[in-house]
């Protein structure tokens, strides 16, 4: 950046606009969408039994949470306009977190049979568990 | 820079100071301004470097929180009945309210970043203060939630005494509130002192701090105003569970129902419960081998009865306290970071080509919000 030396006074101005201010309407729109989704997720959990959605309940609430997370990430955290490398890093962390969770869950029910077949009635329950 | 006098001189004073600092290296101030370090070619390069560092920090935050999420998932998979029994003790209205408060603070934080980019100092200060107020409201609501559980003996697994006689005169809320009371009074006093001594900068600074920490007491008020937490949560549960059970009001009944639902040890239950429990335990279909594994030292066989409920929820509350507590610590750290921003904004240190600190604290604040977005359905919206 040799032009710095050439013109001291104006260089600050030259580089003044690397920022990308979010328009206020967009911030407000994102906020109200987030509030709407929050209300939706509470309403959904209230209606779970009425709508016979018990088995989907977790996926619905996690889906809504992920939608909210995406809104926050892309707009509030400005990732939509951020550098590619920052984006890559951030989403890679989710990938690894997902890998961590998925691998840990692989054998979740592996030993359920052993636990279930254990004669629980003959012993106090607290001695039986896996802790 | 830390003394009030030099602060009052604002930019000019700082430029001199940094000028002196830079002398040892470059013999002159960085052309992009006083806050650009000499080893960066441009303000933008410094900004990008700082932001890269912040992203790296956030990445490790996500990874270490993911460990707790794994603990939650494993424990819930192994003991779904404990989660079903415990969720009636979490008030989803307070949780939802806290979610919206945190979302609003994210809005004002993003707005503060915008203001700092556009050099709108007043807007930036207002938004930072609102963000801090929201953070404190969140903590206030959380304090009511925590202390209410503690009064019932709903502690982590080791100290779990739910259903047992609780010690009298435990001023949990007072102890939790004490730091907030002290900081509010102290900053209000300092604000008055500096107002009297006509030190405008610090008067404003401590006034903003005092206002921020008043948010905590607003939070306490809001949580109190939400009618009877436990019952509030229950009434909503009744509406939902009404279709299954069609009875039960009052705390004990609800607790009994749920413990009956999931524990599967029906021989201990009253006959009236048996029928309604059939449905539910068939639905959850989980035997209760490990239900009492978390029994703390103070919970013995005699407490496994109607009064205490049969599911020992200590395991759930261990995870609950660790996850929400760690989140609350992040909120506290955020308040400290925001205080730092407040100081620097009041001091007019941010400008069009130097707003990195606001942006980076903003990123951190949004991540804290992000974690809560997942914690809320995981903890409060269990069925």
Output the tens digit of pLDDT for each of chain A's 131 residues: 444 444 444 444 444 468 888 899 999 999 999 999 999 999 888 887 788 777 788 888 899 999 999 999 999 998 988 889 999 999 999 999 999 988 988 887 777 777 777 665 555 555 444 44
With beta carbons less than 8 A apart as the criterion, state whether A60 and B346 touch: no
- B286 vs B172: CA distance, rounded Å: 36
Q: What angle do CA B169, B174, B177 make, to 5 degrees?
A: 160
Higher pLDDT, B257 or A30: A30
> Closest Cα of chain A to B186: distance in Å?
34
> Closest Cα of chain A to B377: distance in Å?
6
Q: Measured between CB atoms, which of B103, B287, B294 is closest to A38?
A: B103
Q: Measured between CB atoms, which of A1, A57, A120 is closest to B383?
A: A57
Higher pLDDT, B245 or A72: A72
| Binary contact (B353, A69; C-beta < 8 A) | no
**What six digits make up the tokens of B72?**
């939650």
Contacts of B104 in chain A (CB under 8 A): 31
**What six digits make up the tokens of B308?**
């205490």
List chain A domain ranges: 1-82, 85-131
> Closest Cα of chain A to B181: distance in Å?
31
Lowest mean pLDDT segment, chosen from A63-67, A101-105, B20-24, B335-339: B20-24
Q: Select the highest-mean-pLDDT range: A101-105, B19-23, B138-142.
A: B138-142
For residue B228, name the pLDDT band (cuts at 50, 70, 90).
low
Q: Measured between CB atoms, which of B44, B56, B63 is closest to A18?
A: B44
Residue ranges and CATH numbers for the domains of chain B are 1-39 (no CATH), 54-231+312-380 (1.20.120.80), 232-292 (no CATH)
The SS3 assignment for B351 reads: strand
> Closest Cα of chain A to B174: distance in Å?
31
pLDDT confidence of residue B310:
61
Higher pLDDT, B162 or B68: B68
Contacts of B239 in chain A (CB under 8 A): 46
Residue of A nearest to B116 (CA): A21
pLDDT confidence of residue A122:
55
Which of B289, B355, B363, B371 has the most A C-beta neighbours within 10 Å, making it the best mutation to test the interface with A?
B289
Residue B354 has phi, psi (to 5 degrees) of -145, 90
| Binary contact (A21, B78; C-beta < 8 A) | no
CB–CB contacts below 8 A, A to B: 204
Asked if this assembly's ipTM is beyond 0.90, the reply is: no
Strand partners, B351: B354
Q: What angle do CA B146, B147, B149 make, to 5 degrees?
A: 70
Residue B321 has pLDDT above 70, yes or no: yes
Q: Measured between CB atoms, which of A65, A72, A120 is closest to B366?
A: A72
Residue B351 has phi, psi (to 5 degrees) of -150, 180
Q: What's the mean pLDDT in B23-29?
A: 55
Q: What's the mean pLDDT in B62-84?
A: 88
Q: What is the DSSP letter of A74?
A: I
Nearest C-alpha neighbor of B131 from the set B351, B316, B362: B362
Q: Select the highest-mean-pLDDT range: A122-126, B162-166, B190-194.
A: B190-194
Q: Measured between CB atoms, which of B241, B265, B295 is closest to A126?
A: B295
For residue B212, name the pLDDT band (cuts at 50, 70, 90).
very high
Contacts of A18 in chain B (CB under 8 A): 43-44, 47, 353
pLDDT confidence of residue B67:
92
Which of B56, B57, B59 has the most A C-beta neighbours within 10 Å, making it the best mutation to test the interface with A?
B59
Q: Measured between CB atoms, which of B31, B241, B366 is closest to A4?
A: B31
> Closest Cα of chain B to A39: distance in Å?
8
With beta carbons less than 8 A apart as the criterion, state whether B96 and A42 touch: yes
- Please name the helix (run of DSSP H) or strand (run of DSSP E) that holds residue B373, with its range, or none: helix B356-380
| Binary contact (A104, B74; C-beta < 8 A) | yes
Cα dihedral angle (B92, B95, B100, B103), rounded to 10 degrees? -130
Which CA distances in Å does B219 have to A35, B54, B142, B207?
19, 30, 8, 19
Give DSSP secondary structure letters for B239-293. Answer: HHHTTTT----SHHHHHHHHHHHHH--GGGS-HHHHHHHHHHHHHH----TTGGG
Higher pLDDT, B341 or A121: B341
Q: What is the DSSP letter of A73?
A: I
Lowest mean pLDDT segment, chosen from A95-99, A124-128, B188-192, B370-374: A124-128
| Binary contact (A96, B48; C-beta < 8 A) | no
pLDDT confidence of residue B271:
39
Q: What's the whole-number average pLDDT of chain B? A: 76
For residue B338, name the pLDDT band (cuts at 50, 70, 90).
very high
Residue B291 has pLDDT above 60, yes or no: no
Q: What's the mean pLDDT in B21-33?
A: 61
With beta carbons less than 8 A apart as the criterion, state whether B297 and B136 touch: no
**What six digits make up the tokens of B283?**
């639905």
| Binary contact (B31, A41; C-beta < 8 A) | no
């Amino acid at each position: 950046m040799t032009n710095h030396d050439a013109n001291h006074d104006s260089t600050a101005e030259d580089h003044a606009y690397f920022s990308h201010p979010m328009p206020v309407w967009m911030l407000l729109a994102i906020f109200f969408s987030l509030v709407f989704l929050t209300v939706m997720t509470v309403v959904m959990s209230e209606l779970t039994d009425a709508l016979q959605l018990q088995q989907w309940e977790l996926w619905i609430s996690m889906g809504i949470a992920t939608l909210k997370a995406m809104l926050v990430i892309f707009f509030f955290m400005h990732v939509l306009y951020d550098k590619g490398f920052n984006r890559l890093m951030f989403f890679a962390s989710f990938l690894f977190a997902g890998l961590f969770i998925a691998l840990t869950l692989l054998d979740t029910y592996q030993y359920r049979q052993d636990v279930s077949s254990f004669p629980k009635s003959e012993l106090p329950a607290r001695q039986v568990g896996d802790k | 820079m830390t003394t009030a006098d030099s602060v009052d001189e604002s930019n000019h004073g700082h430029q001199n100071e940094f000028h002196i600092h830079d002398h040892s290296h470059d013999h002159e101030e960085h052309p992009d301004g006083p806050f650009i370090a000499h080893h960066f070619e441009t303000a933008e390069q410094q900004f990008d470097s700082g932001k890269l560092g912040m992203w790296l920090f956030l990445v490790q935050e996500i990874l270490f929180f993911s460990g707790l999420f794994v603990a939650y998932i494993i424990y819930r998979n192994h003991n779904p009945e404990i989660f079903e029994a415990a969720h009636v003790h979490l008030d989803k209205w307070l949780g939802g309210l806290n979610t919206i408060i945190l979302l609003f603070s994210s809005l004002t934080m993003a707005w503060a970043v915008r203001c700092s980019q556009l050099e709108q100092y007043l807007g930036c200060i207002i938004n930072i203060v609102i963000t801090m107020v929201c953070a404190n409201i969140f903590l206030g609501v959380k304090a009511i939630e925590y202390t209410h559980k503690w009064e019932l003996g709903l502690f982590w697994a080791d100290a779990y005494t739910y259903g047992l006689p609780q010690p009298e005169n435990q001023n949990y809320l007072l102890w939790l509130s004490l730091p907030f009371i002290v900081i509010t009074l102290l900053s209000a006093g300092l604000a008055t002192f500096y107002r009297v001594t006509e030190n405008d900068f610090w008067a404003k600074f401590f006034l903003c701090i005092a206002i921020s920490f008043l948010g905590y007491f607003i939070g306490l008020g809001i949580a109190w105003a939400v009618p009877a937490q436990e019952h509030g949560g229950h009434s909503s549960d009744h509406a939902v569970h009404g279709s299954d059970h069609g009875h039960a009001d009052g705390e004990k009944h609800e607790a009994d129902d749920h413990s009956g639902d999931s524990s599967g040890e029906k021989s201990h239950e009253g006959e009236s419960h048996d029928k309604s429990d059939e449905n539910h335990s068939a639905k959850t279909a989980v035997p209760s081998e490990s239900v009492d594994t978390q029994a703390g030292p103070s919970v013995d066989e005699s407490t496994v009865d109607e009064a205490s409920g049969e599911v020992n929820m200590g395991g759930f509350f261990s995870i609950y306290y660790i996850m929400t507590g760690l989140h609350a610590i992040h909120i506290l750290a955020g308040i400290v970071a925001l205080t730092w921003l407040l100081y620097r904004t009041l001091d007019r240190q941010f400008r069009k080509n130097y707003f990195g600190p606001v942006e980076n604290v903003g990123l951190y604040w949004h991540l804290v919000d992000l974690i809560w977005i997942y914690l809320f359905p995981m903890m409060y919206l269990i069925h």
